[in-house]
Structure 1
Amino acid sequence: MRNAGIIVLGVAAVLSLAACAPHQEPSTVPPGAGPTYPAPNPAGVSVSATAAPTTQQLKPCTADDVKVTGKFGSKPTVTIPDTCAAPSTLLSKDLEPGTGAAAKNGSQLQLNYDLYTWSDKVDQENSFATGAFPLTLGQGTVIQGWDEGLVGIKQGGRRLLIIPPDKGYGASGNQSIKPNETLVFVVDAVSVTG
């Protein structure tokens, strides 16, 4: 009788433990493998903050974010970053200052240039092998970004211009330049007169 009481207590204990755990099918995932549920989340970090930023979430680039190598008179190499978005305003930066009088509207310029497109980072065209490009500044014969961005350049100067679409080729684009493209120019002022 005593043994029967111990057996009954043992069965009762096993049944009470079984009642506490939900019924589960055997797992096909080895122990320690696979995702956990719920997924761990570092304290204080939201799920959206851990996702990779899209172009809309990136801060706009500055002229300092675009890297240019090479000296005045030689074809440059331009590196457009992926860590910031194309700026929406005209940016310029003198890479080499030049000397003499600063260009103004009406000045006669002889320029070498190299053009990259922002979205695909492609070197589209340059004049370093074909010869300098003549320009009367401020006459509207070139894109607005050049007429505005080249004011103040001096002979022997190299300038970086980052031109948003509204001061470049806009919604229509131009030949290999896609619509609404941001343009990156490196411009050398071979001569500035007037």
Structure 2
Amino acid sequence: MDRRTAARLFVAAAVAFSLTACGGDDEPSSSASPSDAACVSRSATAQSADGLSTDLSSAPEVPTTDAAPPCGLEVTDVVVGTGPEAVAGSAVEVKYLGAFYGTGEEFDSSWSRGDDETLPVTLGAGQVIEGFDQGITGMQVGGRRMVTIPSDLGYGPNGQGPIPGDATLVFVIDLVQVG
């Protein structure tokens, strides 16, 4: 077997393994919590966020779920804004609430620091985790979006602070300003 054939076999095996790891099974095992269960492939844009408030003047609560987490980034527009759009390189200000997928347990929130507290972010500058950055891109001021972030676009296998390794996260993000 030559090097080219070996390399092709390695790539094919890696692709097959990654597709198997994301599964196609919509049912998590009964002993695993949703964030520990194998992920499922779904559309990157979800259709609705049942149970999530559309009132941008109050802190949202992330709904609980028994569904297996998505394999990739999942974005759900709860309220579509009408103001300027957030694009790569934009300086934006957001309100956010971060919670664990499945339980909805909050681990961080700008709302907990005051109703007027915002987080400034320059999109694409690496100031926040990749999934958070990607989740804001395309929003318009006045919008609320729920973003489900798999571990590989979040804090990865090591986690950070209160976030354990391999955690799937949910952020509810309100776009306040685009500069």
Q: Give the TM-score, by structure 1 length.
A: 0.65
Alpha-carbon RMSD across the aligned residues, in angstroms, is: 2.3
Based on CA coordinates, which of the two structures has the bigger radius of gyration? Answer: 1
**Is residue 2:80 matched to residue 1:94?**
no
Greater shift, 70-79 or 91-100, is seen at 70-79
Kindly provide the CA deviation profile for residues 96-121 of structure 1, in whole angstroms up to 9, marking residues without a partner as x: 11112211111111110001111543
Instruction: List structure 1 runs of 4+ shifted beyond 2 angstroms.
Output: 52-67
Identity across matched positions, percent: 34
Q: How many angstroms does 1:192 deviate by?
A: 1.2
- 1:100 is paired with a residue whose SS is coil
Q: Match of 1:128? A: 111
Return the alpha-carbon distance in structure 2 between the equivalents of residues 126 and 107 of structure 1. 22
Return the alpha-carbon distance in structure 2 between the equivalents of residues 108 and 165 of structure 1. 25
Q: How many angstroms does 1:78 deviate by?
A: 1.4
Change (3 A) 1:53 1:152: same
Q: Which has the higher strand share?
A: 1
Q: Match of 2:90? A: 107
Structure 1 gap ranges (5+): 1-51
Return the alpha-carbon distance in structure 1 between the equivalents of residues 156 and 60 of structure 2. 25
**Is residue 2:172 matched to residue 1:189?**
no
**Is residue 2:159 matched to residue 1:176?**
no
- 1:99 is paired with a residue whose SS is coil
Indicate which of 101, 111, 116 corresponds to 2:99.
116
Q: Match of 1:138? A: 124
Amino acid at match of 1:161: V
Return the alpha-carbon distance in structure 1 between the equivalents of residues 64 and 103 of structure 2. 9
Return the alpha-carbon distance in structure 1 between the equivalents of residues 175 and 90 of structure 2. 12
Return the alpha-carbon distance in structure 2 between the equivalents of residues 161 and 150 of structure 1. 9
Return the alpha-carbon distance in structure 1 between the equivalents of residues 154 and 40 of structure 2. 21
Q: Give the TM-score, by structure 2 length.
A: 0.70
Return the alpha-carbon distance in structure 1 between the equivalents of residues 102 and 165 of structure 2. 11
